[in-house]
Amino acid sequence: RIQHQMHAAAIWPKKTAIKTLKDARLSAGLRQLDLANSLGKPQSYIAKIESGERKIDFIEVRIFASTSS
């Protein structure tokens, strides 16, 4: 049980961060393709980040967020 709680606590910030990034993109009226093009990446790059399939580092978060604002 404790191990499950620790795992859940570690996942929560990640899910919150991903949701925040996606919400920022949507608030800016951008499609995944629009954001990907502005970053010089394929659309699948954004899709994988937003689905949690691909990890994103701090520098990428800053670039992602600044492009969405």
Per-residue pLDDT of the chain (69 residues; tens, 9 = 90+): 444 444 454 556 778 888 988 998 999 999 999 999 988 999 999 999 999 999 888 888 888 778 877
| Measured CA angle at 60 (ends 30, 43), to 5 deg | 40
Which of 46, 51, 43 has the alpha carbon at shortest distance from 61? 46
Check residue 1 and give its pLDDT. Answer: 45
SS3 38: helix
Is-contact 43 33, C-beta < 8 A? yes
Q: What is the pTM of this model?
A: 0.74
Check residue 59 and give its pLDDT. Answer: 84
Check residue 2 and give its pLDDT. Answer: 42
Helices (H) and strands (E) in the chain, counts: 4, 0
Give the span between the Cα atoms of 42 and 68, in whole angstroms. Answer: 16
